[in-house]
A and B are shown apart, each in its own frame.
Chain A
C-alpha cells in the first residue's frame, strides 16, 4: 500500500503531557498538509510544507504546536502541554500536482 500513513492511529494522554505524531506521505508527493477535525466539523487546515519548507501556518496553530518535515520526506506534529481542547482527529495529506490524498488520521484524546 503506497498511500499516506500516520502513526499512531490512537493516542490517549493526560493533560499537560507532550505528544508527537508522524505522517509518511506518498513518496513522490512534494506537498504535505496537516488538518485537525473535531466532532461534527470538517477538517480545518493547520499547516503545510513544500518539500522541507513550512509555507503557511493557520492561526489555529498556537505556539504549543510545532511541525517539521526534515529532508522533505516524513513530517511530525508535536503538541506541548496538551489541553482537553486539543482532543481531535489529526489528519495528514499529501499532494503532487493534483488533489490532496489523506491518511487515516491520529485520534488524540486528552484526559
Chain B
C-alpha cells in the first residue's frame, strides 16, 4: 500500500507566483518528513525537512507545513522561479530521517516564464 501519497502528478505555475505541492501519509509512526527535488539524470536533492514536533519550517523561498491531525504536509515555494521546474518528492521516516525513507510518487512542477 502507498503510505505516502502525492495525488497531483503535475503542476504548472506562473513565474513569480506561489507553488503549493501537497503530500498525504497514512502511517502514524512517521515523525520526520522531507522534500526532495529531482532533475532528470540526477539523484534527488534534499530541500527542506520538518519534525513532527513542529507545524512549520522555513528556509528562504521554501516553507513546509505539517498538519498531523490530517496527516498532510505541503511545500510552498514563493516566488516560483524557472529553475524550480523539477520533480518534487515527499518522503517520510520513523526517526529523524536517519532511517529508511518512504517516498511518494512525485509531482512534476513546471514554472511558466
Contact = CB atoms under 8 A, between A and B. Distances in A.
Interface of A: 4, 31, 33, 35, 40-45, 48, 56, 58, 91, 93, 95, 97-105
A95 B4 CA distance: 22
A42 B43 contact: no
A94 to B, nearest CB: 11
Given A40-B105, A102-B46, A104-B43, 4 more contacts: A41-B106, A45-B101, A45-B102, A102-B45
Question: Which of A42, A56, A58, A104 has most B Cβ within 10 Å?
Answer: A42
B50 to A, nearest CB: 12
A93 to B, nearest CB: 8
B89 interface: yes
B45 A42 contact: no
Interface in B74-113: 89, 91, 97-106
B44 A43 contact: yes
Interface residues of B, number: 22
A40 B49 CA distance: 23
Contacts, number: 55
* Interface SS of B by simple majority: loop
Interface of B: 4, 34, 36, 41-46, 49, 89, 91, 97-106
A98 B41 CA distance: 24
B31 to A, nearest CB: 15
A7 to B, nearest CB: 13
Nearest to A41: B105
Contacts of A45: 100-102
B98 A91 contact: no
Contact of B41 (A41, A91, A103, A104): A104
Contact of B103 (A4, A44, A58, A104): A44
B23 to A, nearest CB: 11
A42 B106 contact: yes
Contacts of A105: 42-43
Contact of A42 (B98, B100, B105): B105
Contact of A100 (B41, B101, B102, B104): B101
